[in-house]
Amino acid sequence: MTPVPAGPALRLWRAIGNAGEPLVAALLRRRLARGKEIGARLDERFGHAGMPRPQGRLLWLHAASVGEAVSILPLVERILTAKAGLHVLVTTGTVTSAEVMAQRLPPRAIHQFVPVDVPNAVARFLDHWRPDLALWVESELWPGLLAAVAERGVPVVLVNGRMSERSFRHWRLWPIVIRPMLACFTRVLAQSEADAARFRALGAGDVVAAGNLKLSAPPLAHDEGEMARMRGLIGTRPYWLAASTHAGEEAAAVDAHLALAAAAPELLTLIVPRHPERGQPLAAEFRDRGLYVALRSAGDPLEPETEIYIADTLGELGLWYQLADVVFVGGTLAARGGQNPLEPARLGCAIIVGPDMKNFAEIMAEFRAGAAICQIARAEDLPEAVRDLLLVDSTRRRQLAANARTVVTREEAALDRVLAELAPYLEPLAAPD
């Protein structure tokens, strides 16, 4: 790969990074105080490695957060199975993603926090890890880090590349910034033809629409013993799930619960907040409204009197999807672009979403075409949607779930396509050092 020369925008970015390093350090300490960093691993954010580099070839994958990191797990497993001597480094930037990766990365794969995008931290990181190939996931573009990798002659491939219409409009105003960044990629493997067209229009060179890896992810795991226990506790009660919720959506779920409780006094509403640390204040808020609330992280039992069960734990979303027939997917009423609707679709759920699904625009088009999803326009419509699917029309509920599974199954070949496109870059990694 030919190193990409540093342009004026990159030189300015690096100068700002050098001058602002003390400010970045202060911001990280503030994040630490808010629980958004791990104190024992804070040095990783400054490029100081938390462990030795494995011997031999090293593949580096960078994913921003939980969703992106989970989407590449099947890719990591397939690559490691095919390349016996290879090791994989996965970097992310959030505490939650680090905890999930600690549980789910296979042998010969390790996790580190991505360094902040200032020159000294980036140089320390790359000097230590010396990756042979870098795969960046979806849409997180850090100009200094990306350029530093390319300048060292390391091939960089954007995998599962996503460029929303909103981001596209933004970047069109800043060609002096986006073109040099996209020039760092040896190849771009876009999620869809629409994404590929936007990347090309912004100046990316070798772009292929290889498919969405999130469509190839395996079903979320669950503990069979815990599922049997929870089924026993729930019994015959009507039950629905509000999953990966953001601020305001939990209140909408509780409002829906109260609207339905008169007709279904045994109704149980389970809420899984997107950020588990919000569980305790949510429990206090809903108890103040006179509701009987159980908080999973506190060990509260699920009792016949429990009205709201808040599952503020990590790694259990597969359990709740397995149990639920009707799921509201969060981030769709709170103007966050939507959380992943594919996970409940794989596990046989009838799915309700709000109006904002821009993060999954292409798959939403397929869901709509396949009559595979219930989309509401506003929070006030949630009670009626839940009532219809949970209490009134079981035939429609089962049909929505079956149609969603059909859509997901149709797209599950994306992993094979991505691996085929990566083959020329992965083949040299089989060679000895």
Q: What is the pLDDT of residues 273-319, one digit of tens each?
A: 999 999 999 999 999 999 999 999 999 999 999 999 999 998 899 99
pLDDT at 369: 94
Q: Are residues 209 and 70 in the same domain?
A: yes
Confidence of residue 361 (pLDDT cuts 50, 70, 90): confident
Does the pTM surpass 0.75? The reply is: no
Residue 2 has pLDDT above 70, yes or no: no
Q: In the predicted model, what is the mean pLDDT of the chain?
A: 93
Sign of the Cα torsion 322, 327, 332, 334 reads negative
CA 384 to chain centre: 29
110 or 71, greater pLDDT: 110
Instruction: Based on the fold, state whether residues 131 and 256 are members of the same structural domain.
Output: no
SS3 158: strand
Say if residues 104 and 69 touch (Cβ distance below 8 Å). no
Q: Check whether residue 267 and residue 195 sit in a common domain.
A: no
Residue at 146: amino acid letter: L
Alpha helices in 347-393 (DSSP H): 361-369, 382-386
Query: Which has the higher per-residue pLDDT, 13 or 305?
Result: 305
**Confidence band for 183, pLDDT divided at 50, 70 and 90:** very high
Residue 2, domain member (yes or no): no
Model confidence band, residue 29 (pLDDT cutoffs 50, 70, 90): very high
CATH number of the domain at 195, please: 3.40.50.11720
Residue 329, pLDDT score:
98
Q: Do the domain assignments include residue 205?
A: yes
Mean pLDDT over residues 235-241, rounded?
97
Residue 1 domain flag: no
Specify if 46 maps to a domain.
yes
Query: Which alpha helices (H) appear in 88-186, and where do they start and end?
Result: 95-104, 119-129, 143-151, 165-172, 175-183
Q: Is 294 helix (H, G, I), strand (E, B) or coil?
A: strand
Domain assignment present for 139: yes
Q: Give the chain's domain count.
A: 2
pLDDT over 70 at 6, yes or no: no
Q: How far apart are CA 79 and CA 135, in angstroms?
A: 12
Domain that holds residue 337: 224-410
Is 329 a domain residue?
yes
For residue 432, what pLDDT band results from cuts at 50, 70 and 90? Answer: low
Q: Are residues 380 and 418 in the same domain?
A: no
68 is an active site residue:
yes
CATH number at residue 373: 3.40.50.2000
Say whether both 394 and 250 belong to one domain: yes
Mean pLDDT of 186-203: 95
Domain assignment present for residue 89? The answer is: yes
Give the total residue count for the chain: 433
For residues 151 and 168, state if they share a domain.
Answer: yes
Task: Indicate if 248 and 396 belong to the same structural domain.
Answer: yes
- Same domain? 114 vs 76: yes
Q: State the pLDDT at residue 221.
A: 87
- Supply the pLDDT for residue 414: 87
- Asked whether residue 211 falls in the same domain as residue 263, the answer is no
CB of 93 closer than 8 Å to CB of 66: no
Whether the pLDDT of residue 7 is over 80: the answer is no
Out of 44, 68, 249, 343, pick the active-site residue. 68
Are 117 and 200 found together in one domain? yes
pLDDT band at residue 363, thresholds of 50, 70 and 90? confident
Per-residue confidence band for 433, with pLDDT thresholds at 50, 70 and 90: low
Q: Is residue 3 pLDDT above 60, yes or no?
A: no
72 and 142 inside one domain: yes
Choice between 359 and 110, residue whose per-residue pLDDT is larger: 110
pLDDT tens per residue, range 147-165: 999 999 999 999 999 998 8
Of residues 63, 60, 79, the one with CA closest to residue 71: 63
DSSP code at position 376: -
3-state secondary structure of 151: helix
Does residue 237 form part of some domain?
yes
Q: Are 381 and 319 in contact (CB under 8 A)?
A: no
Q: With bands split at pLDDT 50, 70 and 90, how would you rate the model's confidence at 66?
A: confident
Residues 112 and 171 placed together within one structural domain of the fold: yes
Euclidean distance between CA atoms 111 and 51, whole angstroms: 10
Q: Per-residue pLDDT averaged across 388-407, rounded? A: 96
Write down the pLDDT at residue 172: 95
In the chain, the percentage of residues whose pLDDT exceeds 90 is 80
